[in-house]
Amino acid sequence: MKKETEKEFTDKYPKLFKHHRNVHGEREVRSVPPIWFGMECGDGWYTILAEAFEKLSKLDVTLFQVKEKFGGLRIYLDDHNKEADKIIDEAEEKAWKTCEHCGAPGKQRVGGWILTLCDECCKKREEERK
């Protein structure tokens, strides 16, 4: 995810991102757990994440990590409850059908990494790999 996008989320939801620290525009990783690993996914999932973060921000939870793994969205929290788990499950389910790069309808694509991509982004990826 672009640094600007991550900053937008961390500025809007400071309690949700309380493990995130910004020092002179750079991410500072604390040496003791919990560590904020950042948002390691594409901007195509922006809308899905924005909706999930808005809901999660109303609960007493803290993000630990947001990433793509095996073509799916993964959202990890320091604390759990049924409501938070339901919000995360919904976001992860939507991501399986959404291109991680552009946000268009997508599906899992294999070719090195497993990614969820639309047809257009998949074609671009194949061309870049040649």
Domain segments of the chain: what residues?
3-97
Quote the strand ranges of the chain, DSSP E: 22-23, 26-27, 39-40, 63-69, 72-77, 107-109, 115-117
Query: Token digits for 84?
Result: 């938070």
Share of the chain above pLDDT 70, in %: 86
Partners of 107 in the β-ladder: 117
Cα 101 to Cα 91: distance, rounded to the nearest angstrom: 16
Max CA distance (Å), the chain: 47
Write the CA distances from 105 to 6, 7, 116, 120, integer angstroms. 23, 26, 9, 10
pLDDT band at 20 (very low <50, low <70, confident <90, very high): low
**What pLDDT was estimated at residue 89?**
98
The whole-model pTM stands at 0.85
Is the pLDDT at 33 greater than 50, yes or no? no
Question: What pLDDT is recorded for position 36?
Answer: 66
